[in-house]
Amino acid sequence: MYGIIHRVVRQMVLDRSDEATWARIAAKAGIDGSAMISIQAYDDALTFRLLRISADCLGLDLTTFLTDLGRYWIRHVGQGATGGILRFTGQDIVTLLANLERMHGSIARVLPETRMPILRLTRDVPGNLLVRYVQGREGFDPFIRGMLLGLLDHFGLQGDVVALSNNDAVEFRVTYNGGEAA
Amino acid sequence: MKVSLGCASRNTIFPAHILLDHDLRVIDTGRLVARQFPDLVAGSFIHEHFRVTSSGEDVALALLVESGALLELESKDERAGFFGWVLPCESGYFLVLRLGLEDYSLDNSALQISDFAPRDPTVHGLLMFTLQRALLDEQRQVTCELVDAQRKSYELLERFSRISGYLAHDFNNFLSIIRLNCDRLSIELTEQPRLARLVEIITAAAARGSAVTQSLMSLSQQRDETRIPVLIDELIEENWAFFATAVGSRVNIELDLNADGARALVSRVALLNSLINLLINARDAMPDGGKVAIRTRTQDKACEATMPNSVEARPVITIEVIDTGEGMSEEVQAQAFDPLFSTKAHGNGFGLPSVRDFISEMGGCAKIRSTPGVGTSVCLCLPSLDQIETGESPVSAMLSQQPKALAEPEHSHRVLVVEDEPYALEALCELLAGHGFEVTGCTSSAEAMAELENNPYCVLLTDIILPGESGAELARAARKRDPALKVILMSGYVPQGEDLDEDWMFVRKPIDARLVTELLRVATRGTD
């Protein structure tokens, strides 16, 4: 995976804990500054090791950690220079989710080894959305749920995201601001 | 050809369009235009919101239909602009537009991906530009992080270096005590060979301990500043085979040594390193082979007016390394001693500057003379100590002899020894007294200065690291008071920034009593 995820993990650990905790995680995972280059592709095994050790050091199970990370991911990319990309993708949750695949397609031209999650808006009723996630990497469903929760936070919406497994794909129901249940 | 497009299709294919009636009033706008200009409502005139131009000139839309020229729409509030074409249609004019971007920054932009047609390359351009800026920001941050990590690493290394230096110093002090007292015992035990043998073993172990501290010193990047009188011709002769290896088999090396008995106060290791540097340069200047000569001679005074004053006034020893290589142009000669300058493909530019720095530290100078196509001569000029008389043993010969028992008294000369380690001071004073020197011991620079003010001394033999003022500071103050005072410094550790004056002798701890004794003889010669 690309180094950007390592950077986001580090930032989340620093926000929740301290430098010493991060130093411990980095030492255990066997990483240093050279693993922190956003557009550098690293071995998936390295990233998974980092995720497991980070969850462990923060006292979280992996599912909770990945959910928190997905939520934090949106907060992180919504700031700074990458904030413009998120705004360009959409200035409300429905538009953003509808444009997400197109945005990922553009990014993938620059980062050819990236495997962006494929998310498709299958129901776009405001307040009650269905998002289909075509599984890219096994075990990353909690991260996607976290991202969707992060989008709700980003747009200031109160709501929830529930995963509905459906054969080869996972669907997430995103309800917010009093949206009706399906 | 007639094409019919419904509203939804118009928005999908042409998200930036304006449909006008024949009176140039807005009928409909694409979603991009609608979002960027929400007040461009149906019924408003196009000219109320935009300046209609082509190639910068105001133009009528009807003319553009006929000519097919590019349409430019610039908003009256200068927020945005469009460019495109005017197509005639039943209702009036269909303006097929694209957003004209002045700034690709998305920072304060209201644009969205869905404002653009499905494969509009503007989307890629905007995303790439923004991604690039984000990566540049990250690069800046990563660079700062790396610099910070490097600085911390250097600090750690420096701390480690300092600690290993201090450890080596303290250890050397203890080894000095062991060694000096073994020397004392050796004198007492000449009639007891078995005990003398035990003393030899202890001395040998102390010597091995000294080798360990030397390694620590290397780690702490201590300079090897042992400066003793060196017979230049003898040094060159001893290392001739090594020099021959350095220049290789294609280069003939010749010795032309005319400085018999002449000595300079130098570091043997540093002088050898300098000669090796010069020989390697000579070899590299003769890729097809050639000849290099090392020539020594003595002169009553420095050979050129450009040499430092300290050398001009004194006899000198010159060491010349002369090759028959390709030579240097005047321009190259002028830069030859500049750090990082090199004419070699893989040269690092450190060789000649380090030679010049070494020679300067020894109170001498270096000069290059070269003729392109003929060869180069590098001349090192060193201040000469007094010549040794024929038959007198040089320092190296003396060191190979066994320590003498209490000898017949030599000419007595007053030596002030300053050493804050009392056991080392006691042993050193006793040993030197046994060799006929009149010795007074002090444990601090303040005590030593008081002693110097009240009594005349010939030689100041002092540790560098002392409580209060350092030995080097004491030596300077003492020399100011008495310029004729000879100085020998000793230490297991030379603190950074501690400069040694060019005519001071320096010995490393653990102290070799025979070496110190010989140095004292050299220092006190001629003061009777």
ipTM of the complex model: 0.84
pLDDT interval class at A147 (50, 70, 90): very high
Vertex B378 angle, CA B377 and B383, to 5°: 130
Give the span between the Cα atoms of A6 and A106, in whole angstroms. 22
Residues A100-113: tens digit of each pLDDT: 988 888 888 877 77
Residues B327-385: tens digit of each pLDDT: 888 888 888 877 656 666 555 555 687 788 788 878 888 999 999 989 999 999 998 87
Distances (CA, A) of B256 to A109, A136, B106, B378, B414: 72, 80, 78, 15, 41
pLDDT interval class at A175 (50, 70, 90): very high
Give the span between the Cα atoms of A80 and B184, in whole angstroms. 76
Task: Test A81 with B134 for CB contact under 8 angstroms.
Answer: yes
Residues in A touching B106 (Cβ below 8 Å): 84-85, 87-88
Residues B443-492: tens digit of each pLDDT: 999 999 999 999 989 999 999 888 888 898 999 999 999 888 889 988 77
Strands B316-323 and B486-491: unpaired
CB atoms within 10 A of CB B194: 7
Q: Which residue of A has its CA nearest to B104?
A: A84
The pLDDT, as a whole number, for residue A117 is: 81
The distance of B27 to chain A (nearest Cα, Å) reads: 26
Record the pTM: 0.54
In eight-state DSSP terms, residue B115 is G
The pLDDT, as a whole number, for residue B301 is: 66
On the 0-12 / 13-18 / 19+ scale of CB atoms within 10 A, A9 is: buried
Span of A14-18, B73-77, B164-168, B280-284 with lowest mean pLDDT: B164-168
Give the span between the Cα atoms of B389 and B372, in whole angstroms. 42
Task: Test A80 with B106 for CB contact under 8 angstroms.
Answer: no
Share the mean pLDDT of chain B: 81
List residues of chain B with CB under 8 Å from any CB of chain A: 105-107, 109-114, 118, 123-124, 126-128, 130-131, 133-135, 137-138, 142, 145-146, 149
Torsion angle of C-alpha atoms B56, B58, B61, B65, degrees rounded to 10? -50
Tokens of A152: 């709700």
Residues in B touching A91 (Cβ below 8 Å): 110, 112
pLDDT interval class at B147 (50, 70, 90): confident
Task: State the amino acid at position B169 in one-letter form.
Answer: H
Could you tell me if B279 and B245 are in contact, meaning their C-beta atoms sit under 8 angstroms apart? no
Alpha-helical regions (H) of B223-302: 232-238, 240-247, 268-284
Q: What is the mean pLDDT of residues B244-264?
A: 87
The pLDDT, as a whole number, for residue B304 is: 53
Give the span between the Cα atoms of B172 and B214, in whole angstroms. 9
Task: State the amino acid at position B189 in one-letter form.
Answer: L
Please say whether the dihedral angle defined by the alpha carbons of residues B490, B492, B498 and B499, taken in this order, is positive or negative. Answer: positive
Mutate to test the interface with B, among A32, A37, A87, A124 (most CBs of B within 10 A): A87
Q: What is the mean pLDDT of residues B82-95?
A: 91
Give the span between the Cα atoms of B227 and A182, in whole angstroms. 92
Give the span between the Cα atoms of B439 and B93, in whole angstroms. 114
Q: Which residue of B has its CA nearest to A78?
A: B107
Q: What is the DSSP string of B282-297?
A: HHHT-TT-EEEEEEEE
Mutual angle of helices B471-481 and B445-454, in 10-degree steps? 10
The distance of A167 to chain B (nearest Cα, Å) reads: 30
Considering only residues 53 to 112 of chain A, which have any Cβ-Cβ distance to chain B shorter than 8 Å? 80-85, 87-91, 95, 98-99, 102-103, 106-107, 109-110
The pLDDT, as a whole number, for residue B397 is: 36
Could you tell me if B106 and B130 are in contact, meaning their C-beta atoms sit under 8 angstroms apart? yes
Residues in A touching B103 (Cβ below 8 Å): none
Which one is predicted more confidently, B336 or A51?
A: A51
Evaluate the omega torsion of the peptide bond into residue B510 and state whether it is cis, within 30 degrees of 0. Answer: yes
Share of chain B above pLDDT 90, in %: 24
The distance of B76 to chain A (nearest Cα, Å) reads: 25
Could you tell me if B80 and B99 are in contact, meaning their C-beta atoms sit under 8 angstroms apart? yes
Give the span between the Cα atoms of B513 and B404, in whole angstroms. 11
Residues B504-522: tens digit of each pLDDT: 888 877 887 877 888 887 7
Tokens of A129: 């959305």
Task: State the amino acid at position B40 in one-letter form.
Answer: L
Strands B375-383 and B316-323: antiparallel
Residues in A touching B109 (Cβ below 8 Å): 84, 87-88
The pLDDT, as a whole number, for residue A68 is: 97
Residue carrying the six token digits 């450009």: B306
Which of A39, A99, A107 shows the shortest C-beta gap to B112?
A99
The distance of B136 to chain A (nearest Cα, Å) reads: 10
Strands B251-258 and B290-299: parallel
Number of H-type helices and E-type strands within chain B: 17, 19
pLDDT interval class at B408 (50, 70, 90): very low
Which of B106, B126, B142 shows the shortest C-beta gap to A36?
B142
Nearest to residue A73, comparing CAs of A86, A55, A89? Answer: A86
Could you tell me if B315 and B298 are in contact, meaning their C-beta atoms sit under 8 angstroms apart? yes
Q: Which residue of B has its CA nearest to A98?
A: B114
pLDDT interval class at B180 (50, 70, 90): confident
Share of chain B above pLDDT 70, in %: 85
Which of A85, A91, A95 shows the shortest C-beta gap to B131?
A85
Task: Test A106 with B106 for CB contact under 8 angstroms.
Answer: no
